[in-house]
Structures are given as structure tokens and as C-alpha cells.
Structure 1
Amino acid sequence: MEKKMESNVLNHREEQAGDRLTALGNTLEKVQLVVGSLLLAFFLAVIFFDVVMRESGRPIVWLQDVARFAFMWTIFFGAAIGLRRGTHYRIEILSHINFLKPIVFICQAVFIIILIFYGYQFALMGLERVAMPSGIPIFYSAISIPLAGIFMLYYLVESIRAWASAKKG
């Protein structure tokens, strides 16, 4: 009787932890969607303004750097959200084979950890390099790579937890 009660308490705690994990994931995704949407709108506005200025004979050369930086942030935030929603490309025939799922999770984790590690190294190098002609340090765009990797890792943990819970019960 006592073991059954302990088991129920542990299951309840696991469910609460999973709920908190999902709630935080939902919040992170909403923030990423808002920031990504704003950056995409900003990117499009900058590109439009850049084209207008070039056609009028008064180009503003640093606008392309600003647009590229906004685009990178948008792309990497979108990639993290795509991982969470499971919308990245996969081999459909293999995606339903349950015993392969842990191997897929391991491969994803290795890729994401590499993305974080080398993305961070690249961002640090960007402190010493600037985009030309704007003079903006490349760090400000490159830091989007490891940051998106951190989001991806969180979403992967969330996916693993959901898969393990579904497999259990």
C-alpha cells in the first residue's frame, strides 16, 4: 500500500514537472514568435527602404548589413520553433518506427550541442570582426546561432519527455 502511494506521488510530481516544462516551452515559443515576426517585418521594411534609396540614387550601404542581421535572427528562431513543432524534414517511412526514436534524439542532441558550441565560438570571433560597410560587430548576428541552439536543446528535452511519457502510459 505504501509503495503504491509513493508511486502515485512520484507520478504526480513527474506530471507537474512535465506541465511546467511545457508551460515554459509555450512561453519561450510565444516570445520567439513575437520577436521573430517583428524582426521579419523589420527585415522587409529595411529591404524595401534600401531598394527605394538605391533607385533614387542615394543608397545607404549599411542597410544590407542590418537586414542580414535581422534575417539571421528570424531564421534561427524559426528553426528552433520548427524543431519544437516537428516541422523539419524527415524520412516519413522511418519516422514512425518507434525503436529508432532514441537514436534520432541522440543525433539531434549531438547536432544541437555542436551548434551551440561552435556557434558560440563563432560569435566570440565576431567581437573582433565587423560587417562592412556598417561597422557593426558580427557578434550581434552570430550570437543568434548558439542562442537558437539553446532553445532547440530545451525543445528537444521537452520532446523526449513527451515521448517517454507517451511510451509509459
Structure 2
Amino acid sequence: MKKAYYYFSKVEEFLACLLLISVVTLVFASALFRTAGHPLNWSSDIAQLLFAWSIFFGVDLSMREKSLIKVDMLLQKLPVKARKYLQIIWQIVIIVFLISLIVYGIPLCINSIDRKFSNMNLSYSWATASVPVGSILLTITSVVNLVKMFKSEDGTYAAEGGKDLC
């Protein structure tokens, strides 16, 4: 199971990097073509679509690698046992929030089927699907982190993998 999760993480890291590079390249190319007098009208829609997906992949990678910004000045002043319980409670709150994003994101995705991007005949559901799919990925990561917290003595957990993102 750990090996499958490792490969899953590597695929997700590759997709996040690919999406981010694609968004930057597309926006840059769009600016060049607009300057040259040949605007790429569809580029902003594709960039928006790719950006929506890259956000969720990036947040999941950050959560997995423990590289999200947090202010733990007060948390560090608590005893180890209290710190562990508080971090576990916060992780459970995060999981509940992500489940609500899944529950409300699926109908949003379904309701967006008929909505099209302005310059293309592509359903906006491709963008809104990033919410439930990304939330599922984040829920998996949060559950893995929660298990690691329960197993640790102080409620913290070590990030797996290296910091070789993009």
C-alpha cells in the first residue's frame, strides 16, 4: 500500500508541475501573440481550467510535504500531549471541511455541464470538477497525516519523499 501511495504521489507531483508550467507558458504565449496583433482568445479559458486543477494538486503536495504556512507560536507553548490533541482535532476539522467540499462540489460540477467557456465549446464542468476531485485527494492526504499523528508521540509527522517539486 505504501508503494502504491508513493507512485500515486509521484504522478500527482508530475501533473502539478506540468499544469503549472502549462499555465505559465500559455499566459506568456498569449501575451506575446496579443502584442503581435494575433490574440489567442481561447488561451485565458484554458489557463483558467488548468489553474483550477493546479491549485488542488499543489495544495495536496504542500500538505503531504508539510510545507503549508502555519503560525504555531502558541501551539509550541503548549505541553506535548495538548499539542498532539489540538493538531488531531484540527486535522479532523480539515477532513470534515473537505468532505463538505466533495458533497457540495459534485452538484456544482453537474450543474455546470451546460455552461460553456466563453470562447470554446468546452463545458465549465471540467473546471468545477477540480473541487470534488481535489478535495478527495486532500482528504486522502489528510487521513494519512491523521494516522501518522496518532502514531507519533508528539502529534507531528514526518513528510515523506524529498522536496524535489518542480
| Range of TM-score over shorter length | 0.7 to 0.9
SS of equivalent to 1:93: coil
Change (3 A) 1:23 1:157: farther
* % identical aligned pairs: 24
More helix per residue: 1
**How far 1:134 sits from its partner (Å)?**
2.0
1:117 corresponds in structure 2 to: 103
User: Residues 80-119 of structure 1: matches in 2 within 5 Å?
Assistant: 80-96=60-76, 97-119=83-105
Alignment deviations for residues 129-153 of structure 1 (CA, whole Å, 9 cap, x no partner): 1111223211111111111111111
Q: Which runs of 5+ in 2 are unaligned?
A: 77-82, 155-166
2:56 corresponds in structure 1 to: 76
Would you say the 8 A contact 1:25–1:155 is kept in 2?
no
Q: Which runs of 5+ in 1 are unaligned?
A: 1-19
The one-letter code matched in structure 2 to 1:113 is I
| Distance (whole Å) between structure 2 residues aligned to residue 142 and residue 103 of structure 1 | 29
The number of aligned residues is 148
Alignment deviations for residues 100-158 of structure 1 (CA, whole Å, 9 cap, x no partner): 12211221111111121222222112212111122321111111111111111111111
1:161 corresponds in structure 2 to: 147
2:38 corresponds in structure 1 to: 58
1:43 corresponds in structure 2 to: 23
Structure with bigger gyration radius: 1
Question: Is residue 139 of structure 1 aligned with residue 119 of structure 2?
Answer: no
**TM-score (norm: length of structure 2):** 0.81
